[in-house]
């Protein structure tokens, strides 16, 4: 069987054509922070599988719980039935997040759909029809239709799906930088809310770091001020913590950089440390009570694989593993290393900005034509990274060794030096 031929003929890859016009590498196995390719090469993983493998791959205890749960009960419908793995996970999440009411679902995007639905039902329960959402420019909230409709209209797939997407309102994003000023963004928010608040169900944001829409870090105080304005107009505040959750920004959840709590959070990605798909929407008792005690009564959503016991067990073990070591110190060390070692790139012509927060190191370029060159260079030099557009970034597992992290960063620096030469030639 020539499986690469099959891949080429039959398999779609993310955001790609069929067959892919860009290289696809074949992976045989993984171990902690290493990816073993079929051709024998070994890559240090600088992506942690799109923010998910926070504890690296093939964690022994996660594997053990997966095996045990698979033998006992891989799945059971959640309609009218319950089980210990789900209850334990709810308990873990309640303790970890400080929220009360937990909806377990298939993935990040689906948790965003559930969050949007919850906000609509909350207002309906109070006798109001509010069908518009507010989101930030540069936002990314997922690939399903509802989630897409709150992604930045210019920086996303909006143009492809056109009028099929719901019309939502986008506000200025706060300036870049953890300590940066955010007055303009706040004014824009206030203005747009003043005008449209009667139609707006919720304001959805990625707290502190905007991910796929630009890898932008901003001031947490913006969120505190935004909360005040939302409260004034009885608009729910949703934090999409799918990327930022489980420690990526140096706090367990990014909202913990602030002194406020949103009304709803969505989580996913790191929840099973990259082992299996799972997402969750969490909200307050007040909000779940408003819906449940109204004539609406029910949160109308219920996927086939809701609260899948395998996924729940894995998530429970992953959370236990995360809490079993000083992850915070490790994440802050990673941040310091990224910040220190990427700094040499700031003066390069092709580089617009370098920045870091938690386990994320970011190089923003002045040109978007180099992504494939950068990736090829990294693979040739034993590192897995997936730059997109002008963004060349790394998100590493908290279990990465010093040596492996050095290798990731050194390779990023070398790769940028390579393209910088080309860029200078282009400028001339």
Ligand X SMILES: *Cc1c(COP(=O)(O)O)cnc(C)c1O
Q: Which residues in this chain contact ligand X in the complex, by CB under 6 A? A: 107-109, 112, 140-142, 206, 211-212, 240, 242-243, 268-269, 279
The answer to whether 19 is a known ligand-binding residue is: no
84 is catalytic: no
Residue placing its CB nearer to ligand X in the complex, 345 or 356: 356
The answer to whether 8 is a known ligand-binding residue is: no
161 is catalytic: no
Mapping DSSP onto H, E and C, the string for the chain reads CCHHHHHHHHCCCCCCCCCCCCCCCCEEEEEECEEEECCCCEEEECCHHHHCCCCCECCHHHHHHHHHHHHHCCCCCCCCCCCHHHHHHHHHHHHHHCCCEEEEECCHHHHHHHHHHHHHHHHHHCCCCCCEEEEECCCCCCCCHHHHHCCCCCCCCHHHHHHHCCCCEEECCCCCCCCCCCHHHHHHHHHHHHHHCCCEEEEEECCCEECCCCCEECCHHHHHHHHHHHHHCCCEEEEECCCCCCCCCCCCCHHHHCCCCCCEEEECHHHHCCCCCCEEEEECHHHHHHHHCCCCCCCCCCCCCCCCHHHHHHHHHHHHHHHCCCHHHHHHHHHHHHHHHHHHHCCCCCEEEEEEECCEEEEEECCCCCHHHHHHHHHHCCEECCCECCEEEEECCCCCCHHHHHHHHHHHHHHHHHHHHHHHHHHC
Residue placing its CB nearer to ligand X in the complex, 73 or 145: 145
218 is catalytic: no
The answer to whether 162 is a known ligand-binding residue is: no
Residue of this chain nearest to ligand X (CB atom): 108
The answer to whether 20 is a known ligand-binding residue is: no
CB of 326 to ligand X, least distance (A): 25
CB of 210 to ligand X, least distance (A): 8
CB of 267 to ligand X, least distance (A): 10
The answer to whether 303 is a known ligand-binding residue is: yes
CB of 88 to ligand X, least distance (A): 22
The answer to whether 51 is a known ligand-binding residue is: no
Active-site residue, from 122, 140, 218, 255: 140
CB of 285 to ligand X, least distance (A): 25
393 is catalytic: no
Active-site residue, from 117, 192, 227, 269: 269
Residues marked as catalytic: 15, 140, 240, 269
Q: Which residues are annotated as a binding site for pyridoxal 5'-phosphate?
A: 108-109, 240, 303-304
Q: Which residues are annotated as a binding site for substrate?
A: 50, 140, 269, 302, 386
Q: Which residues are annotated as a binding site?
A: 50, 108-109, 140, 240, 269, 302-304, 386
């Amino acid at each position: 069987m020539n499986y690469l031929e099959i891949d080429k003929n039959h398999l779609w890859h993310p955001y790609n054509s069929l067959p892919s016009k860009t290289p696809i590498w074949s992976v045989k196995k993984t171990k902690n922070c290493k990816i073993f390719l079929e051709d024998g090469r070994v890559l240090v993983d600088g992506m942690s599988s799109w923010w998910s493998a926070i504890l690296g791959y093939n964690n022994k205890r996660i594997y053990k719980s997966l095996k045990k749960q698979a033998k006992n009960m891989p799945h059971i419908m959640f309609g009218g039935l319950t089980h210990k793995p789900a209850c334990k996970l709810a308990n873990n999440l309640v303790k970890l997040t400080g929220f009360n009411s937990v909806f377990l679902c298939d993935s990040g995007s689906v948790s965003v759909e559930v969050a949007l639905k919850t906000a609509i039902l909350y207002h309906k329960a109070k006798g109001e029809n509010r069908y518009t959402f507010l989101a930030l420019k540069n936002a990314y909230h997922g690939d399903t239709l509802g989630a897409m409709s709150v992604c930045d209209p210019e920086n996303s797939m909006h143009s492809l799906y056109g009028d099929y997407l719901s019309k939502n309102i986008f506000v200025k994003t706060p300036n870049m930088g953890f300590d940066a000023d955010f007055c303009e963004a706040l004014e824009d928010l206030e203005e747009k809310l003043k005008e449209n608040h009667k139609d707006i169900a919720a304001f959805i944001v990625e707290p502190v770091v905007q991910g796929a829409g630009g890898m932008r870090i901003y001031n947490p105080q913006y969120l505190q001020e935004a909360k005040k304005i939302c409260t004034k107009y009885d608009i729910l505040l949703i934090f999409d913590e799918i990327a930022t959750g489980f420690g990526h920004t140096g706090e367990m959840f990014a909202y913990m950089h602030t002194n406020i709590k949103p009304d709803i959070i969505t989580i996913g990605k790191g929840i099973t440390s990259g082992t299996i798909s799972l997402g969750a929407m969490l909200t307050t008792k007040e909000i779940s009570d408003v819906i449940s005690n109204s004539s609406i009564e029910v949160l109308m959503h219920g996927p086939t694989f809701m609260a899948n016991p395998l996924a729940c067990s894995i998530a429970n073990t992953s959370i236990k593993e995360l809490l079993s070591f000083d992850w915070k110190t490790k994440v802050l060390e990673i941040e310091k290393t990224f910040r220190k070692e990427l700094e040499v790139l700031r003066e390069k012509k092709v580089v617009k900005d370098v920045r870091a927060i938690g386990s994320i190191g970011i190089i923003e370029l002045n040109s978007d034509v180099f992504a494939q060159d950068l990736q090829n260079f990294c693979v040739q030099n034993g590192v897995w990274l997936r730059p997109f557009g002008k963004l060349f970034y790394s998100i590493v597992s908290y279990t990465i060794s010093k040596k492996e992290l050095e290798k990731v960063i050194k390779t990023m620096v070398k790769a940028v030096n390579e393209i910088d030469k080309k860029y200078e030639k282009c400028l001339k």
